[in-house]
C-alpha cells in the first residue's frame, strides 16, 4: 500500500485493515510490550542500580528508547485530548478519523481500565507501594488513601471522553452499536462521587451513560465512514515512510555521518546541555541577556550618556580601578569596583542638570552585545553639599548596578538658565553579585 505514489484516497476498507494491522503490532500484551513493562515493573532500587551498572551500551540505548517512547506516548495522550476538545474546528477528514476510523472514545477505555500511569512497585522485600505519574511526568509514591485523587494524565482521558460524548457534533456523528455501548458502559463504575467532585464536567458524562443504558442501539452500525467510501490518507506519514524505504543504505549513511562522533567530542551535545545551565535558563525566563550572572563578568569600560536638550550626549567613559570590595548585602555577596571618570572633554567637565535621563553602555570581552542601563531621576539641591547617589540597574536579581555620586558644582555656570543648579559627577562604582 505504501508503494502507490500519487494516490491520496483509498477505499476505507483497505485503509482500516492497514491501521489495525499496525495497532495489533503495538498493542501487544504486557509481556510483549517492553516499553510498558519497563515502566510498570522497574524493580527495586538495588535492581535498577545493578541493571544500570551491568548493561552494555546497546542495552542502554534500548532502555533509553523505551523510556522516551513512553514519555512521548503519555504526552500524545494529552495531545489527543486537545484534538478531541477542538474537534469542531478540525477538518472533516480528521473528525471522521477521530470518531470512526480510530474511534478515540474506545481507545480511551483501556487507558482508564488499565492505566499505564499507575503502577505498584516493590521497593524492598515485602513493601509494595502505589505510584502514579505526576504532573511533571515523574513517578511519585501515592498513599493508598489518595489513590482516588486524580492526576493530570488520568484527567486528560476523562476530559477527552467528556468532549467525545457530550459535544453536539460527536453525539450526532458517533455511530453507536451494541459493542461500543457495552464498552462505554464499563466506565460507569468509575464515575463515583470523589471523581465527580474533582472533575465536575463528568456529571454530563454520567447522565449520558445513564441515558445510554436505556437506549436501544443497532447491532452493527459502523458510522458514516461506511457511507463515505473515500477516505483521506495521512500524506505526511506516507511521504516519510516512503522516503525511508532503503533502510540498509540509510543505516550506513547515518552511522557514518550523523552518529559518527562520539559523545565526548560532540559539540552539538555541549550546546544542548548548555540550554539547561543556569545562565541560559535565566535569560529565557527573565528575558535578560544572561549577563552579570555567575561567573563574574569583567567590565572593560562604561560609556555614560546624558539627555541634554532632547539629545543623548556622550558624557564620559568610566573604567574600573583596582579598588575592589566585597560587600555583604541581604541578597548575598556583592563585588563593588570603583570607577575612574574620563570626561569626553577633559577641559570642561560635563554639568548635569537637575533632571537626569542617563544611559550607560557596558562593554567588555565577555559581554557580547552592549548591555545598557537607563535611569530617569531628579537630584535635589542639598544645603550641606553632600554627595547624592543614583543607581542604574539592580544587582539583586543578578545584574549590574552602576552607582553614581553627584555633587553640586561649585564653579559658576555660564549658561542661560543659571538659576538652575548644576551637578558634577564625582564618584562611580559598579557592583555585581559574586
Partner 1 sequence: MYGYNVERLSLQAHSSAQQRDGDEYVVDAILSYKKLEVLIRTLLAIEAWRTLVLVDRPPPADEDATNASILDNHAHLDGKEDNQDSKLASKIAENQASLRCAFTLHVETTICSLINLILYRKENAQELDSDSSLALVDYCARQMVSCWSF
314 alpha carbon, distance to own chain's centre: 42
How many CB atoms are closer than 10 A to CB 111?
18
DSSP secondary structure code for residue 299 in this structure: -
Residue among 12, 83, 371, 401 that touches partner 1 (CB under 8 A)? 83
Q: Rg of the chain's alpha carbons, rounded to an integer? A: 34
Among 112, 212, 234, 361, binds partner 1 (CB under 8 A): 234
Task: Assess 260 for contact with partner 1 (CB under 8 A).
Answer: yes
Q: Is residue 332 at the binding interface for partner 1, with CB under 8 A as the rule?
A: no
Cα-based angle 300, 304, 307 (whole degrees, multiple of 5): 165
The Cα 401–Cα 103 span in angstroms is 60
Q: Shortest distance, CB of residue 322 to partner 1, whole angstroms?
A: 39
Q: Which is nearer to partner 1, 85 or 359 (CB)?
A: 85
**420: closest CA among 330, 358, 355, 342?**
355
d(CA 313, CA 311): 6
Of 98, 187, 367, 392, the one binding partner 1 (CB under 8 A) is 98
Total count of residues recorded for the chain? 434
Residue 397 makes contact with partner 1 by CB under 8 A: no
Q: Is 111 in the site for partner 1 (CB under 8 A)?
A: yes
Tell me whether residue 68 or residue 149 sits nearer to partner 1 (CB atom).
68
Who's near 15: CB < 8 A, 6+ residues apart? 101, 231, 233
Name the 3-class secondary structure at 366. Answer: coil
Q: Does 250 bind partner 1 (CB under 8 A)?
A: yes
Q: Which residues contact 95 (CB under 8 A, 6 or more apart)?
A: 87, 169, 173
- Cα(227)–Cα(175) distance, rounded to whole angstroms? 12
The three-point CA angle 138-139-142 to 5° equals 130
Region 265-304 residues binding partner 1, contact defined as CB under 8 A: 266, 268-269, 271-272, 275, 280-281, 284-285
- Interacting span for partner 1 (CB under 8 A) from 204-212, 248-256, 310-318, 370-378: 248-256
Candidates 149, 64, 74; CA nearest to 115 is 74
* 261 vs 415, beta carbon nearer partner 1: 261
CB of 225 to partner 1, least distance (A): 14
Among 259, 322, 378, 416, interactor with partner 1 by CB under 8 A: 259
Interface with partner 1 (CB under 8 A), residue from 105, 116, 320, 406: 116
Contacts of 46 (CB under 8 A, 6+ apart): 124
Whose cell is 555620586? That residue is 405
> Which of residues 183 and 301 has its CB atom nearest to partner 1 in the complex?
183
Total chain residues near partner 1 (CB under 8 A): 91
Q: Select from 51-59, 221-229, 291-299, 412-420 the region that touches partner 1 (CB under 8 A).
A: 51-59
Rule CB under 8 A: say whether 255 interacts with partner 1: yes
Using the rule CB under 8 A, which residue among 236, 295, 346, 348 binds partner 1? Answer: 236
Among 16, 44, 51, 69, binds partner 1 (CB under 8 A): 69
285 or 311, CB closer to partner 1?
A: 285
Considering only residues 9, 13, 64, 420, which one is a binding residue for partner 1 as defined by CB under 8 A?
A: 64
If one asks whether residue 245 binds partner 1 (CB under 8 A), the answer comes out as: yes
Task: Tell me which of 3, 365, 412, 417 binds partner 1, using CB under 8 A.
Answer: 3
Least separation in angstroms between residue 315's CB and partner 1 is 36
Q: Judging by DSSP bridges, how do beta strands 139-142 and 127-133 pair with one another?
A: antiparallel
| Closer to partner 1 by Cβ: residue 242 or 382 | 242
User: Please, are residues 89 and 167 in contact by the beta-carbon 8 Å criterion?
Assistant: no
Residue 377 backbone dihedrals phi, psi, to 5 degrees: -155, 170
Q: Is 261 in the site for partner 1 (CB under 8 A)?
A: yes
How far apart (Å, rounded) are the C-alpha atoms in residues 403 and 339?
Answer: 10
Q: Which of 2, 4, 123, 387 binds partner 1 (CB under 8 A)?
A: 2
Amino acid at each position: 500500500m505504501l508503494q502507490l505514489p500519487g494516490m491520496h484516497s483509498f477505499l476505507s476498507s483497505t485503509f482500516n485493515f492497514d491501521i489495525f494491522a499496525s495497532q495489533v503490532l503495538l498493542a501487544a500484551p504486557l509481556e510483549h510490550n517492553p516499553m510498558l513493562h519497563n515502566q510498570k515493573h522497574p524493580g527495586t532500587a538495588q535492581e535498577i542500580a545493578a541493571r544500570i551498572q551491568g548493561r552494555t551500551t546497546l542495552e542502554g540505548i534500548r532502555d533509553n528508547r523505551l523510556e522516551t517512547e513512553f514519555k512521548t506516548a503519555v504526552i500524545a495522550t494529552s495531545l489527543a485530548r486537545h484534538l478531541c476538545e477542538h474537534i469542531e474546528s478540525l477538518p472533516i477528514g480528521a473528525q471522521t478519523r477521530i470518531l470512526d476510523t480510530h474511534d478515540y472514545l474506545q481507545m480511551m477505555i483501556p487507558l482508564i481500565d488499565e492505566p499505564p500511569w499507575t503502577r505498584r512497585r516493590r521497593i524492598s522485600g515485602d513493601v509494595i507501594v502505589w505510584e502514579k505519574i505526576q504532573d511533571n511526568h515523574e513517578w511519585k509514591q501515592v498513599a493508598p488513601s489518595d489513590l482516588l485523587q486524580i492526576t493530570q494524565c488520568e484527567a486528560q482521558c476523562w476530559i477527552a471522553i467528556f468532549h467525545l460524548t457530550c459535544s453536539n457534533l460527536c453525539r450526532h456523528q458517533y455511530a453507536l452499536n451494541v459493542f461500543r455501548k457495552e464498552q462505554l458502559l464499563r466506565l460507569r463504575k468509575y464515575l463515583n462521587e470523589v471523581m465527580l467532585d474533582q472533575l465536575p464536567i463528568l456529571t454530563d458524562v454520567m447522565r449520558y451513560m445513564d441515558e445510554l443504558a436505556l437506549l436501544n442501539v443497532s447491532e452493527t452500525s459502523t458510522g458514516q465512514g461506511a457511507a463515505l467510501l473515500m477516505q483521506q490518507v495521512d500524506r505526511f506519514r506516507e511521504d516519510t515512510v516512503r522516503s525511508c524505504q532503503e533502510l540498509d543504505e540509510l543505516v550506513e549513511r547515518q552511522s557514518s555521518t550523523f552518529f559518527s562522533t562520539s559523545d565526548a567530542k560532540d559539540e552539538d551535545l555541549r550546546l544542548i546541555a548548555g540550554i539547561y545551565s543556569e545562565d541560559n535558563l535565566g535569560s529565557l525566563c527573565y528575558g535578560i541577556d544572561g549577563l552579570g550572572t555567575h561567573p563574574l563578568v569583567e567590565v572593560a569600560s562604561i560609556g555614560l550618556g546624558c539627555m541634554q536638550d532632547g539629545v543623548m550626549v556622550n558624557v564620559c567613559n568610566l573604567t574600573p580601578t583596582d579598588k575592589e570590595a566585597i560587600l555583604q548585602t541581604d541578597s548575598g555577596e556583592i563585588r563593588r569596583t570603583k570607577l575612574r571618570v574620563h570626561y569626553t572633554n577633559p577641559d570642561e567637565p560635563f554639568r548635569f542638570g537637575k533632571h537626569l535621563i542617563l544611559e550607560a553602555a557596558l562593554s567588555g570581552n565577555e559581554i557580547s552585545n552592549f548591555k545598557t542601563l537607563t535611569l530617569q531621576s531628579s537630584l535635589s539641591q542639598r544645603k550641606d553639599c553632600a554627595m547624592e547617589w543614583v543607581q542604574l540597574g539592580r544587582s539583586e536579581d543578578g545584574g549590574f548596578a552602576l552607582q553614581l555620586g553627584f555633587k553640586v558644582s561649585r564653579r559658576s555656570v555660564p549658561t542661560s538658565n543659571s538659576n538652575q543648579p548644576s551637578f558634577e559627577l564625582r564618584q562611580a562604582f559598579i557592583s555585581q553579585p559574586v
